[in-house]
Chain A
């Protein structure tokens, strides 16, 4: 079975705080891809990052960083020095298999609110 769990339904922080969004996935495939998307109030899903199952290096992009740990089947997302514009729903997604095509399995999302 393929499954993504985002246990945090809602998180509220004050601007400049760091925040980590958790993502745990389940798959029996040895090759797979993991994604994070941002959905601001406008509704459009914005791609943030893609990682494949063979690359466990952590990644940093500006204030964003991702921690991928196969041992715990987790792919967590940290925002450093959060800003009001970071307020959105964040989705973690899984694409099982090594094919370049295929459906995504999404978690239920985490609503992040950053207060000024």
Chain B
């Protein structure tokens, strides 16, 4: 079956602009996670959803970052007034905790570059 997909694969934007990153989880997966990976680092947690609600958003760095999952499937990570420090690979993962507890399956990521 299809894995987690993310669009776009690459996004280049200018400082101050608004961007949206999209994640399509594995079909039927109820949990969805966003992480951010800077060069040479491990992924860092941003937020996760169980269904439509954000269960833990403690990793969002500030109020410029926001994520939604209105129908419990696709999620969008939104970044306002982008800064150069936001440049990173944004990873999405999904899981089905009812059947395979705690295993998160990752998408290919979106590489965001803020000029």
Contacts and interface: CB of A to CB of B under 8 A. Distances in A.
Interface of A: 4, 33, 35, 37, 42-47, 50, 91, 93, 95, 100-109
B45 A103 contact: yes
A109 B42 contact: yes
B107 A101 contact: no
A104 to B, nearest CB: 6
Nearest to B93: A45
B41 interface: yes
Nearest to B48: A103
B56 A103 contact: yes
A32 to B, nearest CB: 10
A105 B33 CA distance: 13
Contacts of B44: 106
Interface in B79-110: 89, 91, 93, 95, 97-98, 101-109
B56 A44 contact: no
B21 to A, nearest CB: 15
Interface string B41-57: 11111001010000110
